[in-house]
Structure 1
Amino acid sequence: MTPIDLTTPIELLRPPRVVFGGGTAPEVGRWLAEQGLTRLLVVADAFNAARVERLGLSGDVTVFADIKPEPDIPNLDAVLAVAESCQAQAVIGFGGGSAMDLAKLAAVLPGSGQTIRDVVGPEKVAGKRAALVQVPTTSGTGSEVGTRSLVTDPASQSKLAVQSRHTLADLAVIDPDLTLTVPPAVTAATGVDALAHCVEAYTNRKAHPLIDLYALEGIRLVGRFLPRAIANGQDREARAGLALASFYGGVCLGPVNTAAGHAVAYPLGTRHHIPHGAANALIFPHVLAFNAPAVPEKTAAVLAALGLEPSADPGTVLRAAHGWCVALGCTMRLSEFGVPEADLPRMAEDAHAIRRLLDNNPRDLSRDDILNMYRAAL
Structure 2
Amino acid sequence: MLALTHPLEIQRPPIVHFGIGVLPKLGQWVTSRGFARPFIIADAVNATRLSLLGLANASCFGTVKPEPDITNLEEAVAAAEAAGADVIIGFGGGSAMDLAKLVAVIAGSGKHLHDISGPHRAPSRIAGLAQIPTTAGTGSEVGTRALITDPATQNKIATESLHMLADIAIIDPELTATVPPFITAATGIDALAHCVEAFTSRRAHPLIDDYARRGIELVGANLKRAVENGRDMEARSALALASFYGGVCLGPVNTTGGHAIAYPLGTRHRIAHGIANALIFPHVLAMNAPAQPEKTAWVCKALGFTGSTVEEIRKGALTFCEALGLDMRLRAHGVPQDDLAAMAREAHAIRRLLDWNPIDLLESDILQIYRSAW
Report the TM-score, using the length of structure 2 for normalisation. Answer: 0.99
Pick the aligned partner of 1:207 from 198, 201, 204: 204
Give a deviation string over 1:346-377, Cα, whole Å, max 9, x none.
00011000000001101000000000000111
Instruction: Quote the residue 1:96 is aligned against.
Output: 93
Work out the percentage of aligned pairs sharing the same amino acid: 60
Instruction: Quote the residue 1:329 is aligned against.
Output: 325
Are positions 1:78 and 2:42 aligned together?
no
Aligned letter for 2:351? R
Instruction: Quote the residue 2:51 is aligned against.
Output: 53
Q: Distance in 2 between matches of 1:288 and 1:128?
A: 39
Aligned-pair distance for 1:307? 2.2
Give a deviation string over 1:197-243, Cα, whole Å, max 9, x none.
00000000110001000001000000011000001001011100000
Q: Distance in 2 between matches of 1:111 and 1:208?
A: 38
Instruction: Quote the residue 2:298 is aligned against.
Output: 301
Decide whether the 8 Å contact of 1:144 with 1:172 is kept in 2.
Answer: yes
- SS in structure 2 opposite 1:51? helix
Q: Distance in 1 between matches of 2:218 and 2:125?
A: 34
Pick the aligned partner of 1:258 from 251, 255, 258: 255
Pick the aligned partner of 2:345 from 326, 346, 349: 349
Instruction: Quote the residue 1:375 is aligned against.
Output: 371
Q: Distance in 2 between matches of 1:288 and 1:344?
A: 20
Instruction: Quote the residue 1:288 is aligned against.
Output: 285
| 1:134-145 paired onto structure 2 within 5 Å | 134-145=131-142
Q: Distance in 2 between matches of 1:111 and 1:66?
A: 21
Instruction: Quote the residue 1:184 is aligned against.
Output: 181
Aligned-pair distance for 1:46? 1.4
Are positions 1:148 and 2:157 aligned together?
no
Question: Across the two proteins, how many residue pairs are aligned to each other?
Answer: 374
Q: Distance in 2 between matches of 1:159 and 1:178?
A: 28
Give a deviation string over 1:133-167, Cα, whole Å, max 9, x none.
00000000000000000000000000000000000
Decide whether the 8 Å contact of 1:27 with 1:56 is kept in 2.
Answer: no
Q: Distance in 1 between matches of 2:296 and 2:271?
A: 27
Aligned letter for 2:134? T
Q: Distance in 1 between matches of 2:308 and 2:154?
A: 35
Which runs of 5 or more structure 2 residues have no equivalent in the other structure?
none
Runs of 4+ aligned structure 1 residues displaced above 3 Å come to none
Aligned-pair distance for 1:312? 4.5
**Structure 1 stretch displaced more, 291-300 or 23-32:** 23-32
Instruction: Quote the residue 2:32 is aligned against.
Output: 34
Instruction: Quote the residue 1:238 is aligned against.
Output: 235
Aligned letter for 1:284? F
Which runs of 5 or more structure 1 residues have no equivalent in the other structure?
none
Q: Distance in 2 between matches of 1:30 and 1:308?
A: 45
Q: Distance in 2 between matches of 1:116 and 1:312?
A: 46
